[in-house]
Amino acid sequence: MSGQLGVGILGAGPVTQAIHLPTLARLPDLFRVTAVMDVDAQVAESVAARAMAEPAQSVQAVLDNPSVDVVAVCSPPRFHAEQVAAICAAGKRGILCEKPLAATSGEAEEIRRAAEAAGIPLVVGAMHAYDPGWLAAFDACAGWFDGVHTIRSTIVLPFNDRFEDWATQIARRPAPAANSGTPSPQERAQRIRGLVLGLSVHNLPLIRAVAPTLDRVDHAEFLTPFGGVISAVAAGRRVDLVAFMRPVWRPDWRLEFWGEERSLSVSFTPSYVHAGPASVTITDRHGERRLATPAHNGYQGEWMELHNLVSAAATPRYPLSTVVDDVAFAIDVADAAASAVLSGGPQ
């Protein structure tokens, strides 16, 4: 890979401040942040100054900037389809779009059509999908994934501000949601949908690589303040999603696969933590073995992928069709879990 690319960023919230700016600072031969946009002028100016970039308050200002080669879409998901279409129309060379790619399956299809028509590579900011630990595990276990019968995603984390503050000094956080007391069934259903698309979504593309279709959700329960348990079946395999955010001294983020004779455990660092790759343990009748992996993390991996696609015209690791199917799978899980919370039965 060669050639430094100018990066324009749409949305200067905590993800930009605590994830993308530190990551791009570690890749100075590949990228230089040249424009940072936020609707809050003070935030745009503060965050842009950290990267010695131009502040902006509109998408068009970033797209009109000739120093911007690729664009990171870090805005709320409801804006992704419109902004990706604008980036494609502006003739930029590549896009990194934060997860979830879209708010609906229809919007994901709009994104696919726009990117394909423009011939612009698009990478979704799903850091686990580009984590060297996961990629090594997927290659090492490909021969027995067909025999997997149970998959479990476990995510137990403190709230994001703990790790955001370790990564950087946050310019301004969104106001916390008001606590309305005991949530109604409808509120619980919406919150578990948000849990899936905001937290479990990190692991769902990895799960879909082994269990590609959702059969049903048997049980879903939202637990305050922000957590839940979902029991589902995907491609005939039992899939359990456990996710909680609450004060804990030890984060635990694991993805596990069990077959009759082997098991795989992949342990990730929490979001916003700029450490190395996931640790991987494979267990069979001969005992446990750990996989050696490259030293970079998934945040670097996704940006390295974009640079390779733009500068070297490489074949994408995840084609647009896969990316769109991934978000459709996540939305299906979220909708089925919300329905199960309301009805108390399988969906």
Average pLDDT of the residues in 55-73 = 98
From CA 166, how far away is CA 120, in angstroms rounded? 35
260: how many CB neighbours lie within 10 A of its CB?
9
Identify which of 262, 218, 222 has the alpha carbon closest to the alpha carbon of residue 242: 222
CATH of domain 129-300+328-343: 3.30.360.10
**295 exposure class (CB count in 10 Å sphere: 0-12, 13-18, 19+):** exposed
Q: So what's the pLDDT on residue 178?
A: 63
Mean residue pLDDT across the chain: 94
Helix segments in the chain, DSSP class H? 14-15, 21-25, 41-50, 59-63, 80-89, 105-118, 132-141, 161-167, 185-198, 204-208, 298-312, 320-343
Predicted model pTM: 0.94
Domain ranges within the chain, ordered by starting residue: 5-125, 129-300+328-343
pLDDT, residue 2, reads 62
Contact 244, 227 (CB under 8 A): yes
Query: pLDDT digit string (tens) for 262-316?
Result: 999 999 999 999 999 999 999 999 999 999 888 899 999 999 999 999 998 899 9
Q: What is the tens place of the pLDDT at every residue in 165-208?
A: 777 778 877 776 666 678 888 999 999 999 999 999 999 999 99
How many C-beta neighbours within 10 Å does residue 178 have?
A: 6
Topology of domain 5-125, CATH: Rossmann fold (3.40.50)
DSSP character string of 316-331:
PSS-HHHHHHHHHHHH
Q: Which residue has the tokens 């839940």?
A: 228
Residue reference for tokens 């949601």:
177
**Same fold for the pair 5-125 and 129-300+328-343:** no
C-alpha to C-alpha distances, 232 to 186, 217, 270, 276, 336, nearest whole angstrom? 21, 4, 24, 31, 9
Are the CB atoms for 232 and 207 separated by under 8 Å? no
